[in-house]
Chain A
Amino acid sequence: MFGKGLATGLEITLKELFTPKVTIQYPEERAPLPARFHGRFTLDKEACIACGLCQNACPNRVINCVRTKVDKKNVLTGYHMDIQYCLFCGLCVEACPKGALRFSQDFEMACYHRENVPLVLLAEGDRPACDVSAAGGKEVKAGD
């Protein structure tokens, strides 16, 4: 009978009217993110050994890790990411032998100005090489 299919369809939509709503009202409500979510990066400055493996693993040359040689040892003095070119593939995080580079759950990375886009995980001035050498390779803390 013509119209039977239409009626079946309407029946389905009518049933759906009484099921709980699935739409999440962002930003008032937030969906739970899984533990492995690929969000903004975090860097554990203490754990990082400045090996540069993350930089080499990146397919798009996003990472620039600035290293300074202190007492024959590499010390991380800067860590920049041109995150606008990042594919969020996770190859860098996977390459890190110390687990220093990680993803966080922060996904709200939009900003108003282009110059704010690059992600600076360690600014050069924050940890000058001379301070690092003075403290015997350890980071100098304020007040020390």
Chain B
Amino acid sequence: MTEEIIIAGFGGQGVLSMGKILAYSGIMQEQEVSWMPSYGPEMRGGTANVTVILSDDRVSSPVLQSFDTAILLNQQSMDKFESTLKPGGLMIYDPNGITRHPKRDDIRIFQVEATAEAARMKSPITFNMLVLGAYIKVNPVVDFENVILGLKKSLPQRHHHLIPKNETAISRGMEMVHEAKRTP
């Protein structure tokens, strides 16, 4: 198994830390992992993306042109990465703020209304965990328990009181995710 994922959105949406938790979850599941961020001033209020690879074998290239999964959290990311999905690939996106929805018909497309739900939960910082939950529901490459272990590993001790809240958000994301209706 090798799963090549791109996660992209605004800086501040927790894109990089979501990738990190996913990579840690992979380690907990005895996988080989890599996490390669976009870096630099581009991130200051702009867009951020990270490539995460989970594999049973040694990870070769940490930079890729095409992906098995794309998790897209704003319009720029949608515009940039929709075309990079491999045929049969998986897209998960938050429809919030999206005006040009995906068009491809050779991929599986799911939605999770994470922005709205995070606002409803009055917990904007758990936005990325809702999305992570959605992902592991649709594509269970890592087990829920290992995600929680990964979460513990990647959060510094002083933030461990936030774990239950994040756990709830992951579960909520798993419940909420649904297949996108095709806009004709």
> Do the two chains bind?
no
Residues of A participating in the B interface, judged by any CB pair closer than 8 Å: none
